[in-house]
Structure 1
């Protein structure tokens, strides 16, 4: 099986690479800098340099993947901030969040999805429970809320254009990474192990996927009751 991970230099992305390699799969993974690329190569992955915030960097992704059949692809890249609705976000903060969490995914999707279709595979986008519009209790992470809701909409809207690829939206949980902080209850290996099991359980040989077919799931496979 060939697995592709976008945003694999640390945290959940790096753990995905490690677990798939340990399972004997071939892994292609991206990092922004040479240190990240070296780490991936040393692990045994095929490393590609990619910065999802840079349109010039991401524009050549399809060319780098030319001829591949991707059984599973992951868009992991994401950033978080603690901003709330008590003050307006700066243009710079808004642009940074939306570039990484939404625009990067939207630019990567049409370059990666055709190679997922070649394998009739799965394209997984790591989202968040912060994307839910129903049941919001706080404005903490205000712009992050908006970015992940936008990501969900982008993925759902794109699914019918790639009927031979199965798209999934998965919340990895609150994970003990640089972004999740040391207070998080889930270890990266726990979250990733559950995500891999969830993705495998959702695998189907069906084609002709539509908007309504995109599941919005927690890491353990349980679906969210609302969007």
Structure 2
């Protein structure tokens, strides 16, 4: 894993690419699951929990921090933090994937706090649904291309009134 200083140095270099026009979209798709995630809150392991939180929450926080000056130059900056329906308490997915679920719930709160800190930017938490990926497995019902296409449309149409929300890739609110 990179240190916070290394991340900052890399992002400062990347931030020079858009130039004077700034960065219009920042899509943060950080997510890991570790073997020590635990089937429930009594079996999680501290090292796995810390790695998951560092990647799934601290990573997007630091990236936003370092990319903010470049986003601020944009006429309509949109930040999408990719989250998970497993972060929803009302949906009740049970005890599984404890660390991952906690990290995505924390990412949703980070999204809300970023939206409040940067009211001139559109910051949303987007649940991409269950997709056929390495993490989602081939049992998932949705293809990545379909979800990506829908998500592009969503991000082109979100407004400041959507900022801070937890929504699905197709724009439906998630509770």
* Alignment correspondent of 1:118: 73
Q: 2: distance between equivalents of 1:86 and 1:73? A: 32
Structure 1, residues 117-160: CA drift from partner, whole Å, max 9, x if none?
21131011100111112231411111111000001111211222
Q: Give the structure with the higher percent strand.
A: 1
Q: 2:8 aligns with which of 47, 53, 59?
A: 59
Structure 1, residues 17-43: CA drift from partner, whole Å, max 9, x if none?
xxxxxxxxxxxxxxxxxxxxxxxxxxx
Assess if the C-alpha contact under 8 Å between 2:126 and 2:168 holds in 1: yes
TM-score (norm: length of structure 1): 0.68
TM-score (norm: length of structure 2): 0.86
* Alignment correspondent of 2:155: 199
* Alignment correspondent of 2:23: 70
Please give the secondary structure, in 1, of the residue aligned with 2:72. helix
Q: 1: distance between equivalents of 2:33 and 2:151? A: 20
What residue ranges of structure 2 are gaps of 5+ in the alignment? none
Q: 2: distance between equivalents of 1:108 and 1:97? A: 16
Counterpart check, 1:132 vs 2:81? no
Please give the secondary structure, in 2, of the residue aligned with 1:89. coil
Counterpart check, 1:220 vs 2:147? no
Give the number of aligned pairs: 168
List aligned pairs for 1:1-227, cutoff 5 A: 53-64=2-13, 65-66=15-16, 67=19, 69-81=22-34, 83-85=38-40, 87-119=42-74, 120-202=76-158, 204=159, 213-224=163-174, 226=175
Q: 2: distance between equivalents of 1:163 and 1:88? A: 40
What residue ranges of structure 1 are gaps of 5+ in the alignment? 1-50
CA root-mean-square deviation: 2.0
Assess if the C-alpha contact under 8 Å between 2:114 and 2:164 holds in 1: no
Displacement of 1:164 in angstroms is: 2.2
Displacement of 1:57 in angstroms is: 2.5
